[in-house]
């Protein structure tokens, strides 16, 4: 399996869930984005900004959680998928860190947000969970969060929500969504290799749900409160303007989240691979 495909002329290797590819990207035009680069809407933009903060450290957590059990994975196909998963997550972190540099240059309180996020999530919450429930729970939380990111990616692609973003930010979000779909079953399959406990899977997913929604909403509103261009009037104008996107995104995410509770659930059941292939070709 080829673990690296360099971008040249935007000719990217197609999506293949059984043999994922690490695509090294370079979204060098991010410095040209405006303050409210998604649909000229502060509410939606700062929701995306919240994920720029969450992803780099979050993906390093995913890598650590999966690597902790990689020596127990004996299936050669899954071993290769784990390697590609790690490679893709490393690249995602790098590109979102570039976005954070741009946001910091715009005057956003990125360092304070990262300090809060890292301390509460990785210096406090994760160690407590590991102490109480062991490393398997961290893997279960990772599998649950991967279901959320892949589900969000599929909704974003299905309804072409990425087209609301400007320039290279559009391409970054599209690429990330495609690769989340491509590797969405890796952490889940490692978890199933280690333990097939339904209770462990669902407990991890419930914690993942609190993390996914809690941090994203909190950080979104931190961005909004710190945005000097957003007053009370614009906040409610943009909240109202975001409703068409919200009416598509949130019901779809909720229905896909409920699928995770099915005893026989597997991420492959949600599909999305053809959708990701078609979207990736537009970068």
Q: Dihedrals φ, ψ of 99, to 5°?
A: -65, -40
Contact 90, 55 (CB under 8 A): no
pLDDT value at 191 more than 70? yes
What's the token pair of residue 234? Answer: 């614009």
CATH 3.90.930 fits 5-280, yes or no: no
Confidence tier at 10 by pLDDT (50, 70, 90): low
233-253 pLDDT per residue, tens? 999 999 999 999 999 999 999
pLDDT of 271 reads 87
Read off the pLDDT band of 24 (50, 70, 90).
very high
Taking alpha carbons only, the member of 53, 23, 100 closest to residue 215 is 53
Q: Measuring CA to CA, which residue among 185, 59, 194, 209 is closest to residue 122? A: 59
Integer Cα distance of 160 and 174 in angstroms: 9
pLDDT higher than threshold 70 for residue 2: no
Maximal CA-CA distance, the chain: 57
pLDDT tens digits, 70-89? 999 999 999 999 999 999 99
SS3 state at 5:
strand
Please compute the mean of the pLDDT values over residues 205-212 and round it to a whole number.
Answer: 98
pLDDT in tens, 161-187: 999 999 999 999 999 999 999 999 999
Give the mean model confidence (pLDDT) for residues 203-215: 98
Burial class (CB in 10 A: 0-12, 13-18, 19+), 104: middle
Domain definitions of the chain by residue range: 5-280
pLDDT tens for each residue of 102-140 = 999 999 999 999 999 999 999 999 999 999 999 999 999
User: Which residues lie closer than 8 Å to 182 by C-beta, 6 or more apart?
Assistant: 15, 16, 17, 20, 21, 88, 273, 276
Kindly state the tokens that stand for 203.
Answer: 């407990």
């Amino acid at each position: 399996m080829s673990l690296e495909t360099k971008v040249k002329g935007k000719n990217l290797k197609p999506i293949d869930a059984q043999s994922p590819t690490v695509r090294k990207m370079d979204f060098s035009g991010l410095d040209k984005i405006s303050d409210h680069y998604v649909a000229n809407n502060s509410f939606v933009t700062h929701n995306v900004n919240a994920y720029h903060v969450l992803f780099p450290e979050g993906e390093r957590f995913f890598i650590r959680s999966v690597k902790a059990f990689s020596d127990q994975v004996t299936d050669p196909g899954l071993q290769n998928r784990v390697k590609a998963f790690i490679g893709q997550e490393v690249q995602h972190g790098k590109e979102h860190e570039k976005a954070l540099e741009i946001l910091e240059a715009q005057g956003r309180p990125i360092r304070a947000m990262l300090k809060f996020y890292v301390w509460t999530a990785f210096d406090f919450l994760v160690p407590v969970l590991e102490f109480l429930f062991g490393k398997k729970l961290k893997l279960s939380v990772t599998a649950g969060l991967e279901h959320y990111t892949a589900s969000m990616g599929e909704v974003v692609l299905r309804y072409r929500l990425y087209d609301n973003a400007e320039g290279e930010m559009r391409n970054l979000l599209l690429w990330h969504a495609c690769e989340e779909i491509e590797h969405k079953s890796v952490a889940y399959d490692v978890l199933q290799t280690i333990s097939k406990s339904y209770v462990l899977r669902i407990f991890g997913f419930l914690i993942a749900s609190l993390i996914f929604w809690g941090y994203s909403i909190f950080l979104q509103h931190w961005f909004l409160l710190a945005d000097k261009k957003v007053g009370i009037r614009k906040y409610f104008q943009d909240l109202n303007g975001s409703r068409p996107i919200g009416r598509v995104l949130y019901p779809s995410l909720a229905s896909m989240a409920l699928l995770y509770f099915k005893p026989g659930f597997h991420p492959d059941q949600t599909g999305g691979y053809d959708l990701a292939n078609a979207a990736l070709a537009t970068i």
